[in-house]
Amino acid sequence: MGCVNSVQRHLAAEDADASEASRSASSRSIHFAKTPSVAQVREGVLSEMVRFRRPHIRDSAGFDVVDSEGVTLLIQGGVAEGLQLLPEEQETVVTALRENVIFSCMQTEQLQSLAKCMFVQIVKPGETVITEGEIGDKFYVVRSGRFDVVANNGHTINRLVVGSTFGELGLIYRAKRTATVVSDPKAPGTLFALPGKYFRYVAAQRSLETFHSSLDALKKVKLLESLTVEQLEVVATSVYSLQYRPGDTIVHKGEPGRVMYMIQSGTVVCTDIGSGSAAIAKVQLKEGDYFGERALLSAEPRSATVVAHTDVRVIALDQSTFTSLLGPLQQVLDYNRMLRTLESITVMKKVPYALKKKLLDSARIVHFEPDETILNEGDHGDTFFILKEGEAKMLQQPKSRSSSSSSSNPPSPIHKIIPLNNGNVNVEAPVPALEVARILPGDTFGELAILDRRRQPASIVACTKVECFALTSRDFDNIFESVKTDLYDLARQKEIVSSDKLFAHSITLSSLKYISVIGMGSFGVVHMAEHIPTGRFVAVKEMWKSRLEQLRQTHHIQSEKKLLMEIDSEFLLKCYATLQDTKKIYFVTELLVGGELFRRIVTHSGLPILLSQRDTRFYAACCIKALEYLHEHNIIYRDLKPENILLDSRGYAKLVDFGFAKKLTGKTYTLCGTPEYLAPEIILGIGHGVAVDCWGLGILIYEMIVGDSPFSSPDEDHLAVCRNILHGHISFPLDCDPDWKAIVLALVQRQPEKRASMIAGSLLDIRREKWLADFDWESFIQRTMPTPWIPDVTSEIDTKYFPKVSKDELTEFDSCKNHKPVGNWEGF
């Protein structure tokens, strides 16, 4: 769809001092331009950089689009908060919105929709519009008058006039205002105001409509009919829209073809089609038709000229984009056909999908000429074939009566015996082999030689030129050897799961003895506790039901509980049981005594601790395994950061806090996460998927080496952070490891579908990066690899790596004791 890239073009064209926010972004660019080397950082050059734990954010409306119809009705209904804009005022607003980077992803019709949702707000002389520190969710355009941006000391730091905008962060989420804005004390003023929810509605609506129309159009292209739904969805996120006026030439005959077009509206005329006796004068194409699809296969010359007959809107897909997403089209089509063939073989049906893909990746292409023998009957074969192109025949010698099908020897061919006059006999050549079957594209042969090493039951001879995919027995052996690590991991996990289930059944509130408080959150506290019957130590997260109801988090906590009880990976926090009484709910989880990864990269005084490449690689591997598991189960995590990674007693890292995790059935539009880790598509509200976790992994890998996230703001200005992310510039230390830099850039790609993990749809692809090339995954999974750090605990109840919680902090929940929950918690 290309709108994420348009943000960078917009920012490049902005005037650096057009507003206070742009000045903030400019100063950050200067800061990055002076990024010191890793060596300088280690020597204390950045000792002034102080960091503390970062809070996450969530869209309070909990907005998540499931279809665009409701959004359309909402926009058509407009708003009832004040006077709606006149048509000429709407045009003024559209012009002002175009100048703001937050709206740079939007088309004109989207900006017009937003203008219809705005209302006029009248402001008295000297009236405060927004106050620093207060929560706000509105965005403003100055309609008339003058407004001052005032600092805490009362000094005016900026002056806003007609056409100026402010309050952008309120569009992204309900955030604390970063400045106070006051109207001219001598004269009234007016503002155009936009509630933040409408921005996200409009952005989501456009994204949904474009995605679904693109997907429908792609499904009609015959050339692409063998692509899977998942592959089509990946492509649908990357097409772009073009508009032409009557008479515009879209395609010239004879020019190299590199783009396929699908007509969304209007009509086009194809002229000068073909040549010679096959030439056609003209053909008219309309909405739903497509042309130029051969461009996805090769850059062969266009066979016709295509001209817009009316106003035309088309969806375009170029060959380079398709190839970057899925690979060359012909290879994708061949691969899909091979995979379907492999899945049709009875003995392969129970082989895991990932293993079948590994087998196909090992296949090679072989060619045979007409009448060339591919396999000989009776030979010990060691190759399995899938016919790709051409035709072959299966030949068998007629069997003698003495032949036994169970014999390990090859069958004896029948010979013709002719008696001679002198009493001798003449043995002629064997009876010709019989053709028993024809082998066509997609058919297989030779598999029995792979599976049980038996002799070939028939000969295979090429009838025409033949092209086959071939897999040898050695290929099979190598693949199965390579998955021994995975099988070992699976077997060990089954043993652990069995033991944990028995333990979980024995957990009750009366069986737990609290030892100390080891953490505190928004809804309650976390205790270290002993399970008295077994003597095992656990963590118990207790939350007040009334508090959850007050903050409208009941649904979220129920979703988190459901998800926690479904997941099972050694790289994710293990939840043994959930319990409740009349006022509280309890999550009983494993106890991770190593504390947060954040405390391994930041001192208690807030100074950064830079990790080595080796240590960073280890913790990244833990996250890769965790995210790999979640994504394979269609779960998006959405809050990857060092604060949400805890270390166990051996130093292995696990993801915790699944409050933002969600089971996906498509794109999701809820804004949540930590500002410095937000992917561009989350900020822009255009819908996101698992690729946001890959973006977060790139930020984490960068932060562990450099000591700060690449998009942070010195004064923790969330708007500046969001602008930095949309700007997209990342600076690296001059002496940095090039392989480390490459993996960061591969993950922090502007377009979600081009991030490292999305190229073939799995985080496994990240292992192909050079930075991970020599990492010993087998010893890592078997836990024989030395860890970067092991917690120095004196006992199982040592709390030295947990934050200290004072009695005063615990009083925050005193009021909850007197409030009974009003909701239905039955069955939690």
Q: Are 57 and 721 in contact (CB under 8 A)?
A: no
Summarised one tens digit per residue, pLDDT across range 227-279 is 888 788 878 888 888 899 999 999 999 899 889 999 989 999 998 776 655 55
Rounded-to-integer distance, Cα 150 and Cα 99, Å: 23
Please give the order of strands across the beta sheet that includes 373-375: 373-375, 459-462, 392-396, 434-439
Does residue 53 form part of some domain?
A: yes
Average pLDDT over residues 798-812: 87
Residue 314 has pLDDT above 70, yes or no: yes
Does residue 825 form part of some domain?
A: no
What CATH number is given to the structural domain containing 626? 1.10.510.10
Does residue 351 form part of some domain?
A: yes
Strands (E), 637-716: 645-647, 653-655, 662-663, 672-673
724 dihedral zone (left: phi>0; alpha: psi -120 to 50; beta): alpha
Q: Is 640 helix (H, G, I), strand (E, B) or coil?
A: coil
Within this chain, do residues 751 and 625 fall inside the same structural domain, yes or no?
yes
Average pLDDT over residues 582-598: 95
Residue 814 has pLDDT above 80, yes or no: yes
The catalytic site residues sit at 639
Does residue 207 form part of some domain?
A: no
Within this chain, do residues 640 and 761 fall inside the same structural domain, yes or no?
yes
Within this chain, do residues 232 and 278 fall inside the same structural domain, yes or no?
yes
Comparing 39-43, 156-160, 669-673, which segment has the lowest mean pLDDT?
39-43
Q: Is 451 helix (H, G, I), strand (E, B) or coil?
A: helix
Residue 81 has pLDDT above 60, yes or no: no
What CATH number is given to the structural domain containing 384? 2.60.120.10
> Higher-confidence residue: 181 or 241?
181
Structure tokens at 631: 């994504």
Within this chain, do residues 641 and 697 fall inside the same structural domain, yes or no?
yes
Summarised one tens digit per residue, pLDDT across range 416-432 is 555 555 555 555 556 67
Does residue 153 form part of some domain?
A: yes
Rounded-to-integer distance, Cα 261 and Cα 218, Å: 10
Within this chain, do residues 244 and 368 fall inside the same structural domain, yes or no?
no
Within this chain, do residues 287 and 142 fall inside the same structural domain, yes or no?
no
Domain boundary among 482, 503, 538: 482
Binding site members for ATP = 541
Within this chain, do residues 732 and 626 fall inside the same structural domain, yes or no?
yes
- Tokens 């100048």 belong to 99
Q: Is 484 helix (H, G, I), strand (E, B) or coil?
A: helix
Does residue 280 form part of some domain?
A: yes
- Closest listed residue to residue 543, CA positions, set 524, 564, 519: 524
For residue 695, give Cα distances in angstroms to 251, 638, 717, 744: 37, 10, 21, 9
Rounded-to-integer distance, Cα 676 and Cα 696, Å: 9
Neighbours of 614 (CB within 10 A): 10
> Higher-confidence residue: 641 or 441?
641
Write out the residue range of the structural domain in which residue 122 sits.
65-195
Beta-sheet pairing, 156-160 with 135-136? unpaired
Number of structural domains in the chain: 5
Rounded-to-integer distance, Cα 476 and Cα 264, Å: 47
Structure tokens at 112: 């017009």
Within this chain, do residues 757 and 690 fall inside the same structural domain, yes or no?
yes
Does residue 202 form part of some domain?
A: no
Domain boundary among 459, 482, 505: 482
Identify the band that residue 665 occupies on the pLDDT scale cut at 50, 70 and 90: confident
Comparing 122-126, 353-357, 658-662, 790-794, which segment has the lowest mean pLDDT?
353-357
Note the pLDDT of residue 8: 47
Residue 306 has pLDDT above 60, yes or no: yes
- Closest listed residue to residue 567, CA positions, set 493, 464, 479, 641: 493
Identify the band that residue 404 occupies on the pLDDT scale cut at 50, 70 and 90: very low
Domain boundary among 126, 161, 195: 195
Does residue 700 form part of some domain?
A: yes
Rounded-to-integer distance, Cα 99 and Cα 119, Å: 20
Note the pLDDT of residue 274: 64
CB-based contacts of 439, cutoff 8 Å, min separation 6: 387, 391, 392, 393, 394, 445, 460
Within this chain, do residues 696 and 636 fall inside the same structural domain, yes or no?
yes
Average pLDDT over residues 719-724: 87
Binding site members = 541
Within this chain, do residues 130 and 190 fall inside the same structural domain, yes or no?
yes
- Could you write out the DSSP letters of every residue in 286-303? -TT-EE-GGGGT--PBPS
Within this chain, do residues 653 and 663 fall inside the same structural domain, yes or no?
yes
Structure tokens at 162: 């007609």
For residue 606, give Cα distances in angstroms to 37, 43, 47: 20, 16, 10
For residue 449, give Cα distances in angstroms to 219, 242, 703: 39, 54, 52
What CATH number is given to the structural domain containing 518? 3.30.200.20
Beta-sheet pairing, 383-389 with 425-430? unpaired
Within this chain, do residues 473 and 520 fall inside the same structural domain, yes or no?
no
Note the pLDDT of residue 28: 28
